[in-house]
Each structure stands twice: as C-alpha cells, then as structure tokens.
Structure 1
Amino acid sequence: MSERENTVQEDTVHYDGPSGGWGSLRGMTRIFGKEWSTPGATETLYRQNKPHGFMCVSCSWAKPANYHPFEFCENGAKATLWELTTARCTPEFFAKHTVSELKGWTDYDLEQQGRLTHPMRYDPATDHYVPCEWDEAFNAIGSQLKALDPKSVVFYSSGRASLETSYLYALFARLYGHNNLPDSSNMCHETTSVALKQVIGVGVGTVVFDDLQKCDLIFFFGQNPGSNSPRLLHPLQEAAKRGVEIITFNPVREKGLIAFTNPQSPLEMLTGKETQISSQYHQVRPGGDIAVLLGLAKHVFDADDAAKAQGKRILDVSFIETHTSGLEAFEAKVRGTSWEEIEAESGLGRRDIQKAAQVYVRSERVIAMFGMGLTQHTHGFENVASLVNLLLLKGNIGRDGTGISPVRGHSNVQGQRTVGIAEKPELVPLDKIAEQFGFEPPREKGMNTVETCEGVLSGEVKAFIGLGGNFVRAVPERVRVEEAWQRMDLTVQVATKLNRSHLINGKAAYLLPCLGRTEEDKQASGPQAVSMEDTFSHIYGSLGRRSPASQHLRSEPAIVAGIAKATLAPNPKVKWDEWIGDYGLVRDLISETYPDKFEAFNARLWQPGGFYKGNAARERIWQTESGKAEFIAPDTLTACGFTDEPGRYRLITMRSNDQFNTTIYGYSDRLRGIEGTRDVLLINPQEMERAQLHEGQVVSLVGDAGDGVHREVSGLKVTPFDLPDGCLGAYYPEMNPLMPIWLHDEKSLTPAAKSVPVRIKPSGGEEAGERH
C-alpha cells in the first residue's frame, strides 16, 4: 500500500477504534436505554431477521438460514427501538404547536415526539393539525382525487413498504390512471437498475449470500458498511480471516472497511481483537472511479499481452467470445487512454492502481460490491457499466463466488420494483394485469423523483400521496421545492412518526398513522404476515407481534385500500375488502402476475434464508438487446458533470453513524470522530491552508452550478478531515439545498449527491481563497 493508504492524517478528526466492538454496543444502548421501559423490547430484538420473526426496517441485507442468536446490527437495533418508543405524538401535541412553529424544529426533535396515534387533517385557518376519523379522511381524499386528472397525481413509496402493500399501491395507481410511481430507489440506486439492465439484462445484482463464502477477492467501491449496512461486516470479517483480499476504492476512509471487532464474539470483545478488513484502501477522487476502472482494465490487458507471449491467457477468452459483445471498442478505449490521464482524473498513482489490478489478475473468483458512491454522479451509469466491464474480462459473472453486488439501502426498495412500483411501463406485465383485473392500464411513462420535483415546481403536479418516507426533506433543491409544494391541491402522508415532510402541506393535507413492522396486524382472517425482498433477490416473510402503539392505527395495506375504495368505481375483479382481510390472497395475486418469480408464494413464505426469485444473468442468460453481456466504452474519465476551477470543490454528501436515510437518531458520528453536531464542513488540512481557513471557523457553502440560481447553506464549522484534494464532505440531508434538480445521472436521473459543485464563503465575507 502507498503511504497515504496506510496512514490517517493525524491533524484530522478521526476515530481510533474499530467498527463494531464496545462502541457499537454503546451506540445501541444509548437508544435502547431510552426505550428500556417498553415491555418486550428484548424479545422483539431476538425475533429480528429470523424465520417467523419480523424483518428489519433498516437495510436490505440478507437474513441467513443459519442465523446468529442476535441477527441484527447497531443500526437495525436503533431502527427497531425507534419504532418501539413509548413516546406518543397525539392530537394534544398538535393542539399545542402550530405547523409553522414545528417547521423550525430539527429532524431529530420532530421524531423524538414518538409514534403518531390518530389520523390528522391540516386546518389552514388555525395552522394546526386536527384529528379526524378514518372514513372522513378517506372520503375527502377520494373526492379530491376524483376531481383531478390522474396524470397530475403522484404516488410515492419509501423502501419500507411490504411486497403486499407495494403490489396493491401500484395496482391502485394504474386503476386510477397513471404510472407516476417514484420510489426511494430513484434517489439512490436507480442508476444501478438502468445500467445493469442495459449491460447484463437484469436490473439487480447477480450475487447471492453464499457467494461471499466462495470468492477470493472482493472489490469495494463507494459504500460504507460501518454506518449504512453493519451486518455486512460479519461476512467481510469472515472473508478477511480466510485470506480473501478486500480492495476498497472510496474518497473517505470509512472505519467499517478498515477494521472490525465482532460484538457477538465474547473473545473479541474481551481481548479487543480486531480484524483488518481492507487489504488495500485507495482514496479515489469523487467521480474518479471510471478512471480507476480503466486503469485496472489497462493492467489486465497488459498482463494478458505478457501471458500470450508464453502461450497463456489472463482474459477468459471462451467466456468473452460466447457471452459478450463490444470488447473491441472497450479495449480500444482502454489502450488509447494514457496513465497520465488516469492518474489525473482518479487522484491515484499508477503503481497503486496496478497493485490492485495485479490481485485481480491472479484471482479466480471475484465479487464487486458498490453503493451510492458510484451511482450518485452525473455519469453514474458509466461508473456501474465500467465495473461490469472489469468483471466480464475474466468471466466473473455467472459462476459461484463471482458477480456484481449493489448494496441496497432500504429494506424492501428492491422488492417494490419486483411487484410493480415503477414509472416505466415496460418493466411491468401490463397485459397480464389487464387480464387479471378487467381494465386497460395506462401505457404512458410516469414521473420519477426528479420529474416529480420538476412537476411540483412547474405546477404540473397537483397532488402527492406519500407511502412512508420523508420525500420533501430527501430531494434536491429543497428550498425551492418546499415553496412550490404548498401550491398543490392535496398532500397525503402515511407514516409512523412525525418528520419535516408532514409540515410542508398542500391546500388540503392529511397525516395517516400506520402500524410498524414489529406490531401485530389483525385483520378479518386473523394476524397477518407481510413479505419483502433483500439485496440478494431472496424473499422473506415478516410477522409482527407487538401491541400497536395506538388502537387508531391501520396497516399500510388497509390505508391503501381505504383510499382506493373512496376513489375508484366498483370493479367486480378488484376485491379490496377480501384482500385486506387476508394478505395471503394478495400473495396469490402476486404469484399470478409474476409466476416466474413467485410460484407457490404462500407455501414458501417462511423458508429459512428466504426463497430465491432467480436471476437470468446469474445463469448467463443475457436479456439485453444483443442477447449477450455488453462491454461499454465510456466516453468520459470522470463521473462529475462539471469541470474543476480554482475555488470550486466537489462536495460529497454523507450519512452519519447515527442516522438512517433522513432519520436522525442522534448527534454521534462515532466512526468519524464527530460528536454533538451535524453542522460541519469536512476538508483536509492542506486545502484548509490553501483556502486560508482555520479549524472551527464558521462558513457557508454556496452552490456553483453556473445556472444563475443562488443556493447556500450556512453555519458550517470547518473541521479537518482526511479527504482527497479538491473535495469536501458534509451531511445529507442538510446539504440538499445545494443540489440542483437537473444535476443527476444522465440516463437514470438519480441525483448527483456525491459530486456537487460548491464554493466556500466565510460567514460575513467573500469566498474563501482560491486553490492553485
């Protein structure tokens, strides 16, 4: 490793301990202690991610058949205890506080009010939420939806909604008359879905959980398991212990990819023993991954040239000839790109890239894992496609212990797409749905997240139904979107807790409280189970047993059905009441619509380890235009959509160890050594000196997109941090106002949150000194 790979800048904020270990237990205890008085909290955690238990509402990691006694991580425990809180956000709370007042509260303080207990209606005359009956809400919502053009209405869903809920929600949207079905994937991994669909024929990863035990090399790009998916650290630790090389490319030195102590190992906890995770760690520039991947491929071609002289090959020639197309153009691009260009765009030295590539050359079974560090760029498509290119060179897709593996963030965000949540009609079997339910589904493309925001700004979008999530807080250009949001005719939010999106209302607004996944869902036929899909395309059942937080709560499927019944004309083939009375009937519908993926759905619901829905690319069946896996020759070396200039920085938006998406559990980013605040600007000491800044100085970030729109976030404390030159870090979602809506991946429209053009402005002064 280079000196920079081995060392942390000592004059920067950092965390000296490993991920996991006692720090992880303290992090859970801090939340757990507040919820300890909740009866049955320990029993609930014990059932988490196990057969006949409930599935975590946090990340989408696998639920293995051979599970640990405690099959949850720090973030999963926080998410569960957050739901089990004894705090209640009642009508009395809303009577005390106007919505205008609550807009001034922090995200953390809003969610600290606890579980929502009653359906609420916004009263603009008093600026208060007031309680209402469920039928009153359904009828009012239905009446307004009937009066609107369906094409002007958006049905958004977060990644936590079950397969059953998602299927009914998508059916409702199409019966109503639109495909406006954005979901949280649009904000993070839509690039994955678009790129993988084009190059290997499926929009999801090809790896299954067992492959992690069979590989001999793992490439890691742009993902932080320590904060975002800690359960991934267990198989990474096991892989490292058996000698698997793990090579990481990430602008930030994330602790979870450096060292890990297993909190479930008494020996490791008592001795403080830690496992080194990454054998090589390279701090690539934000947006420099295309250059890195071309450099890796360049070394592979050079090694193959040398091998040919000895009558051998490094490339998997048989695989390439049988299963791929486009190698010639890709090889020409690689050979025609100089090492000087690669070094300049990647921020890495040739020797470091070659060292990583040499491990690939000698490895037999390789997995490539990645996260939003690849997808959230203007040229995120080329990032993902370039990673697939590298795997294809040696036939590392379609064999055990190999493959491409996006690490999905939300628990069922992948599964929602599987059962019809999609704005793209070509992804849904509309002819089959038409036959099942006796209607003609809309065939026009619907709006995704970016297009929804554009429609809100233009006035095209008149109503928004939010099935979970915190949409307004999560999207780019938040200040402008919030202002325009209030001009809509209707906004409806289905939620368990209060968040900022519930305070930015249309002319009519409803807040509808739903059951959590840990809670018992009793319907006409008895307690109901739901299901979800993990990042490895396995399907699991989930059964809540806790008493609901309020007797006034309804399940997500029941809320969807209630609004649908009040909106749609009767249809003898659409049996909302029967379906809500028995979710098994919904699973039968899913099996009928998607027989290739959900055969015998109910019979397999509780299969340990989940049941596999299948993946054509894993079988080397390529559902692409050419019928083969496609090499793509990128036409750029940088994933950024702007050029570097003096004083302009590439901003990475980041999540802390104490949050999940927009949910803020607290103010401890333990794994980065940042405590007590989220108002920080992370910058390396050399850049601080060049910009004439000092530690603790309060500054603003100003958008530098060049479109004439002023975007600014103030009150950020300069904090020295180990980052590449020309790069800044700050927290999501606080930095969202700096992201233009139009700054997104060119093909998927995923917001480019990992390379936002900004300048630094000291408070009360001019922009910080320019870099040279």
Structure 2
Amino acid sequence: MTDTIPNPESEGPSGGWGSVKSIARILGDDKPSPMVLEELARQNKPGGVMCVSCAWPKPANYHPFEFCENGAKATISDLTSARCTPGFWSDHTVQSLRGWKDYDLEQTGRLTHPLRYDEASDRYVEVSWDQAFDDIGQTLKSLPRESVVFYSSGHAGLEASYLYALLARTYGNNNLPQSSNMCHETTSVGLQKVIGSPVGTVVWEDLEKADAFFFFGQNPGSNSPRFLHPLQEAKKRGAKIVTFNPVVEQGLVSFVNPQSPVDMLTGRETQISDEYLQVKAGGDIAAILGLCKVVVEADDAAVSTGAARVLDIAFIDEHTVGLESFIDLVRSTDWSVIEKESGLTETAIRGAGELYIQAERVIGVYGMGLTQHSQGALNVAMVVNLLLLRGNIGREGAGCCPVRGHSNVQGQRTVGIAEKAKLIPMDKLKALFDFDPPTEDGVTIVDAVKGMMSGQIKATISLGGNLVRAVPDQKAMEEAWASQDLTVVVSTKLNRSHLFPGKKAYILPCLSRLERDEQASGPQSVTTEDSFSHISGSVGKRTPASKHLKSELAIVTSIAKATVAPNPKLKWDEWTADYSLVRDLIEATYPDQFGAYNERMFEPSGFYRGNSAHDRVWKTEEKKAVFTTPKQLNALSFDDAEGRLRLITMRSNDQFNTTIYGYSDRFRGIEGTRDVLLMCREDIRSAGLSEGQEVKLVSDFNDGVRRELAGLKVREHNLPRGTIGAYYPEANVLIAIDHHDELSKTPASKAVPVRIEA
C-alpha cells in the first residue's frame, strides 16, 4: 500500500475550515435562535445536553467545544426560526407536497400544532390535543391487538422509551420494531450469538490505550466526527489505523482538528489510516479471513521454530470454543480465493495482517458497511474471530466497537423497546404493574412492512422517524402505509411519512431535547445511552418552538391513558409530572444496570451500566466466546452475473439518516445535487457510458418486481470494480423488502444487485 490514500474527489481533509464553512452555511439557511452558540457550548457536557445526532460518547475530560459538524447541523436544525404552522396547509395539499424534495420539506421548519388529516380537502388541519388522543385511543381499542405496530426512531429519551414499551405491552403486543432493525440489529443478534452481549465491549479508556484500530465499513468523518479526536491522539502516540472500506472516506484519510488553533492556522493535517484497503462490496468476510490467515501462518511458523506463540492460546483455551474448525478453514482456503472474493491482493492483506500481529491491543471498529448485508451477522462474527485470535476482547485497550447512529438507538433497546419477548423481564413488569405481559414475539421492521402490504397491519404509531422514507421497497411502502386504518407520527418537522396518510392520520408535534420541558413538578431532564453503554442526562434550556408542543413522554402517556384500560398501578399522570419516577421504574426493572439512577445521571462521562463481555463473562449458549466458521466467503445472497453490479447506498456529508440539510457532499466533490451514480472509470468504460450521462438503475433481485431509479448522472469516483454508489434514502426504492440479513432481517443496503439502463 502507498503512504497516502488518493481521494481526488475530496475538497480537503475532514474537520478544519471545511467543517466551519459547512456549519456557517447551515446557519445562514436555517437562521436559528441567537442562543444556538450557547447551546453548542453546552453540548455533551455535564449538566448540558447530549447531542441530538449520533450516539458517540462524551469524554469525562471534555474539550471547550464538544460537538462536531453533524451535531452542530442537527442543533441548528432543531433551533431553526422557520415554523410550519397550520396556515401552511392553506396553500399546500398533501398530493402537491409529494413532488417536494426531502430538503424542501425540512426547510418548512418546526411543526407548531397537532394536526389531523382531512381527506376531503387533502390537507392537514389543526386539531386539539384532547380530540387527537381521544380518536387515536378509540381507534386503537377497536383494532385487533396484533394488527398495531409501535415503532420508535431511536431519538426519544430512556424515560419516554420505557413508557412507550409499557404502552405497547399493556395494550397487548410486543410489536416494538425500532430503527436499529434497519441498521445495527445485526450487531444485537450477531454479537449476542458469539460473545453474549448485544452491544460493543469498549469504553472510552480503551481508546486511549489501543495500539491499533481496524475499521470495517464505518465512516467517522461524516457519521461520528468526534471519533476523529481520539484517533488523532492515537496517531500521536504511535498507534496504527487500518481501514477496510469500498469507499475512500476522507475522515479516515486525513483530519485537521478544529479544536487546535495551530492546526487551523497552518492547515496541518493528521494522516489517519496507515493502510487503506478498498474491499469490494460484500467482500469483508474474505478480507478478514485473509487477516486471520496471516495470523495463523505466523503462529504455525512460531510453533515450528519454538518461538513465542502468535495466538493467545491461554485466552483461547479458557474463554473460547470453535477454534479448530475455524482454523481448518483458514489453512485450507487458498489465497487466490481470498483475492477473488475480497477484491484485494494478498500483498495488501498481508501488510494489514502484520500490523495486527505487531499490535498488542487492538480495537475492531465497524458500522453499517458490515451490518447491512445478507450475511451481515457473519461479517460481525468474522470481526470477532479476528479479535479472539489474540485475546482482543475483554482487556484494556482492546475490544469490539460498533458505532451506532441515532442518539439513543441503543438505549431504547436497553429499556424495553424490543420485539423479542425473551429479552424483556416480563416477570418484573407483571409485578410492578399488575398485568399479564404478552409472551408472543412481535414484528421486526421487515415483518411490519410486509404486514402493511398484506393488510395484516392496520395501524402504526411512530415515535419519531421517517419510516416510509427509510425502509426498502419505498413505492410499495407508500401505498401500504396509506392503506392503514390509522397512522400517527410524533415529529418535530415535516417528512415524507406524513404525505401518505392512513384512513385516519395524525401528526403530533413534540419538543426537541434542546427545549425546556416544564411539567407539573417543574423542569424535567431526560437520559440517553451512548455507544459505549454509558447513561447521561440532558437538560433542555431553550424556549419551545411553540406553546402547543408536548414532550415525547407526555404524548406517550396521553395515548396510553386514552387507549389502555385503567389500572391503579399505571400512574401515567404522575409519571408525566415527574420523570424521576420513571427512572425509578427503570431501576426497579433493571436493577443490575441502573442502580442509583437518578443520583448518577449527570456524572461527567455518564454512568456505565456494564457489559458482560467486557468482563469476559460470556452469556452465550456455550458460556464461552464462539469462533464462527463461515459458510461462505462473501456476504451476498446472489451470484455475480454479466452486467450485474453491487450498489452501496451512501450518506452525504450534508445529511443525518433521512434528514437532508443541503446539497453539499464536499468529501466527494459533489455540489448542488443528490441525483448521481458513482462508478469507477473502468466500469464506466466497460458499460459504454460517459461522465455526466443520465442513466436509470433497475433492481436485479430476480423476484419479478420492477424497481427503478431514474435521472441519475454518472460520476467517476474511486470505487472497486463492480461496486457502485448512490445516495440513501433515494436509492431505497431499489431494495427489495426480502433482501435482508438472514438472522436479524436488517435490510441489505450495502450490496444491492442492480443493472444500469442508459
């Protein structure tokens, strides 16, 4: 590999003045409250507010400005001066808004009043909160319990999330799919199977002691920029960083630290990755097997000469099972097969493998580039295999580090938003609230969407999010969503899910986490869980965007009061008045993880709820960590064929999930548009295309359904042969709802079989 990674598309390193200019542009577009700077100064600090964007942890020893470009954009967006009042609908019908872009809907501003869809006028009209809750409750009570879905986006705090799960179960089902179903459910299922913990094993202190970081399909530059600070510190102390990613992501190439006056004034860059291997989409299993092969060959050589072992045999013997079968496959797999499946050379993989061997303590980092595949759980298991070979789980400076997206997506699962009944302490719920919780598993997102399409799901309550836009098979989903008897979306702004109302439809506007939440007992605070399993409190200070807004928790309890049969143990009003009482309930339900909850919620780095695998306690069926022998060497459910390409759905620098802040993707050199198809030069030539040519992508899933995305312009980009890229969520229309990870049903959005039509 070369010393530097060429990325000719990028306008410069991550961080630096590029980030400052990007934030300034959003400030100009959204014209937020003058207090936005004060709010950013409080972000991710004790007594402040946890970022409303990603779930990256806050350090105990924080920087003066503990926010990143993405966090700033999310904060500015929440504090925009624009308002979407009921008067907006005087000039716009729902049908007319379907032609608007996601960005245009975002720019209408904060919702101010509860709204009901009026079919006769094809508009939303203002409705009182009491009328809305009464109608929602009456409709839910009339429906079969199994036909209602309670979806959550990953934003709501732990308090509202706990009560939301309680609402669903007292209503009568476990239909609690969540946004992790679309991104990191593969982690929850995959890691649970092999190390007995559904979340990552590292804590902040491990970042400071690691000798190497191995990245797989994760992009900190756009998705978790605050990660770049500990990576820069790691480089200064001599740690190595190795990246496997089909896309050259600028955040893993170079970084100018906005916190450093010297870096900003001189433009001094930190080179992040020592080795950058552009694995082809779906090729990570083979690539990681190659790394393991380097380790095993080195260990075999050590055994033959009597040198010190490369494998951590003491750890393996005490803590793992399954090594023999895995090593047999490693030894018997020829390098030519590894090269073919990974798209990488033996030389490149050997170079990365040597860095792994030389490092005493390694952290394996991954993101949706691994989880969103048909064999995503196998991808995750392969990362664990690599770490287990040298004892890199359950000790300082080492571990497994999946990086979560939404700010409380992990925490919502922790406190009960889960469709699998076995994950919930039903006995404690029964004792606390004197009811019989349902024991049947609920639906995943995939099951829910298919249920809507078949007519079995008749109502969906959505606690945040933009589910219609986020899921596969968008066109079919739009029709299915609108065919329901009831759709309710708790939101801060308009999005496309509002534009396909059910037979009855409500938009319920809520407070932002940044805003002051006044209840009967006074100002309230909420808590969230970060990617490292730490719980932190947030205190909203800003004046609400409208006096008509309710908190997420108050909306949940109001729906519950209108829907669930009265029960003296269900004290919805008391819990709304004082959120600390809800935290007491969470502690009573999960005492091992939430002891002294109210007392500890504002600790500088948050309080740690613990992780069994971090302590080398393996809660697997085998009671040990498990080596997995892969059944195939790619993460695909389809074979290569003439003209078939592997599409990666990608996020731009100017978006967060389905929220589009603008049309600037400076790291890829794309400005003013999202209608692009990224291809390498060789693929453009072999397809007989030219730069700037307009093309259409069509699904090649072979299920008889025509799926297409037209109006894309070809753009040359640094990608492996056979791997192409287009933006999420626009490209979701090409993904079949049945194209998902085998174990978790997470949509396989990172290797979608498609063809190009000129």
Q: Please indicate, yes or no, whether the TM-score normalized by the shorter chain is above 0.5.
A: yes
1:62-77 residue pairs with structure 2 within 5 A?
62-77=57-72
Whole-angstrom distance in 1 between the partners of 2:677 and 2:29: 30
Q: In the alignment, is the contact (CA less than 8 A) between 1:117 and 1:550 conserved in 2?
A: yes
Q: Which residue of 2 aligns with 1:386?
A: 382
Kindly indicate whether the alpha-carbon contact (under 8 Å) linking 1:95 and 1:130 is maintained by their aligned counterparts in 2. no
| Pairing 1:276–2:274 present | no
Q: 2: CA distance between counterparts of 1:302 and 1:125?
A: 72
Residue 730 of structure 2 aligns to a residue in which SS?
A: coil
Q: Which amino acid aligns with 1:92?
A: G
Q: Give the corresponding residue for 2:314.
A: 318
Q: Please say if 1:189 is aligned against 2:184.
A: yes
2:578 is the alignment partner of 1:582: yes
Q: C-alpha distance in 1, partners of 2:641/2:713?
A: 23
- Which of 542, 547, 553 pairs up with 1:551? 547
Pick from 492, 496, 506: which aligns with 2:502? 506
CA distance in 2, matches of 1:542, 1:77: 16
The counterpart of 1:454, out of the listed 450, 455, 460, is 450
Structure 2 residue runs without a partner (length 5+): none
1:730 paired to 2:726: yes
What is aligned with 1:307? 302
Map of 1:693 onto structure 2: 689
Distance 2:181 2:11 in 1: 35
1:769: which partner in 2? none
The one-letter code of the counterpart of 1:203 is P
- Residue in structure 1 matched with residue 596 of structure 2 by the alignment: 600
The structure 1 residue matched to 2:360, chosen from 358, 364, 370, is 364
Offset of 1:6 from its aligned partner?
Answer: 4.2
The 1:9–1:235 alpha-carbon spacing in structure 2 relative to 1, beyond 3 Å, is closer
SS in structure 2 opposite 1:598? coil
Counterpart Cα distance in 2 of 1:405 and 1:442:
33
Q: How far did residue 35 of structure 1 move? A: 4.4
CA distance in 2, matches of 1:96, 1:16: 40
Normalising by structure 1, we get a TM-score of 0.97
* Kept after mapping to 1: 8 A contact 2:11/2:666: no
Change (3 A) 1:336 1:674: same
**Matched residues in 2 for 1:388 and 1:476: separation?**
29
Using the TM superposition, give the Cα deviation of residue 485 of structure 1 relative to its aligned residue in structure 2, in angstroms: 1.6
Q: Which runs of structure 2 are paired with 1:134-173 in the superposition (5 Å)?
A: 134-173=129-168
What is the CA distance between 1:95 and its match in structure 2? 2.0
Residue number among 115, 118, 124 corresponding to 1:129 in the alignment: 124
Q: CA deviation at 1:33?
A: 2.8
**Aligned-pair Cα RMSD in Å:** 0.9
The aligned counterpart of 1:476 is 472
Match of 1:518 in 2: 514
Q: Pick from 398, 406, 416 the counterpart of residue 402 of structure 1.
A: 398
Distance 1:146 1:414 in 2: 30
Structure 2: how far apart are the matches of 1:572 and 1:25? Answer: 53
8 Å CA contact 1:290, 1:382 repeated in 2: yes
Amino acid at match of 2:473: E
Q: Which amino acid aligns with 1:758?
A: V
Which of 197, 200, 203 is equivalent to 1:205? 200
Q: Deviation at 1:8?
A: 3.0
1:255 corresponds, among 235, 250, 256, to: 250
Q: Deviations over 1:372-398 (max 9, x none)?
A: 000000000110001100100100001
| Residue number in structure 1 paired with 2:106 | 111
Structure 1 gaps, min length 5: 763-772
SS at match of 1:597: coil
Q: How far apart, in 1, do the equivalents of 2:423 and 2:68 lie?
A: 34
Letter of the 2:717 counterpart:
F
CA–CA distance in 2 between the matches of 1:520 and 1:630?
A: 47
Task: Give the match for residue 329 of structure 1.
Answer: 325
- Is 1:630 aligned to 2:597, yes or no? no
1:99 is aligned with what amino acid? V
In 2, the alpha carbon distance for the partners of 1:100 and 1:597 equals: 48
1:750 counterpart = 2:750: no
Counterpart AA for 2:279? V
Aligned length: 757
Q: Which one of the candidate residues 482, 485, 498 is aligned to 1:486?
A: 482
**Distance in 2 of aligned mates of 1:359 and 1:102:** 53
Superposition map of 1:401-440 within 5 A: 401-440=397-436
What are the superposed Cα offsets for residues 573-626 of structure 1, whole Å, 9 maximum, x if unpaired? Answer: 010000000000000000000000000100001111000000011110000001
Map Cα deviations across residues 176-197 of structure 1 (whole Å, 9 max, x no partner). Answer: 0000001110000000110100
1: distance between equivalents of 2:50 and 2:624?
36
Opposite residue 602 of structure 1, the aligned amino acid is: N
**1:481 CA displacement:** 1.0
Which of these residues, 28, 38, 47, is aligned with residue 52 of structure 1? 47
Kept after mapping to 2: 8 A contact 1:656/1:668: yes
CA displacement at 1:510 relative to structure 2: 0.3
Query: Offset at 1:39?
Result: 3.0
Cα distance in structure 2, aligned partners of 1:446 and 1:36: 43
SS at match of 1:207: coil
What letter corresponds to residue 255 of structure 1 in structure 2? Q
1:497 aligns with 2:493: yes
Q: Whole-Å Cα distance in 2 between the matches of residues 33 and 269 of structure 1?
A: 22
The alignment partner of 1:182 has SS state of coil
CA distance in 1, matches of 2:529, 2:160: 13
Indicate conservation of the 8 Å contact 2:83/2:108, yes or no.
yes
Partner Cα separation in structure 2 for residue 453 and residue 533 of structure 1: 28
Question: Equivalences for 1:606-617 in 2 at 5 Å?
Answer: 606-617=602-613
SS at match of 2:646: strand
Aligned counterpart for 1:8 among listed residues 3, 6, 11: 6
* Contact 1:59/1:228 (<8 A) preserved: yes
Q: Is the 8 A contact 1:95 1:129 kept in 2?
A: no
In structure 2, how many angstroms separate the alpha carbons of the residues matched to 1:425 and 1:394? 35
Q: Percent identity?
A: 64
Distance 1:262 1:592 in 2: 43
**Contact 2:32 2:76 (8 Å CA) reproduced:** no
Does the CA-based 8 Å contact 2:7-2:248 persist in structure 1? no
Q: Compared with structure 1, are the counterparts of its residues 157 and 342 closer, same or farther at alpha carbon in structure 2 (3 Å cutoff)? A: same
SS in 2 for 1:757: strand
Matched, 1:672 2:668: yes
Question: Which of 327, 341, 345 is residue 341 of structure 2 equivalent to?
Answer: 345
Output the amino acid matched with 1:538: H
2:209 to 211, 214, 224: 214
**Does the 8 Å contact 1:701/1:713 carry over to 2?**
yes
Q: What's the counterpart of residue 615 of structure 2?
A: 619
Q: Distance in 1 between matches of 2:581 and 2:645?
A: 54
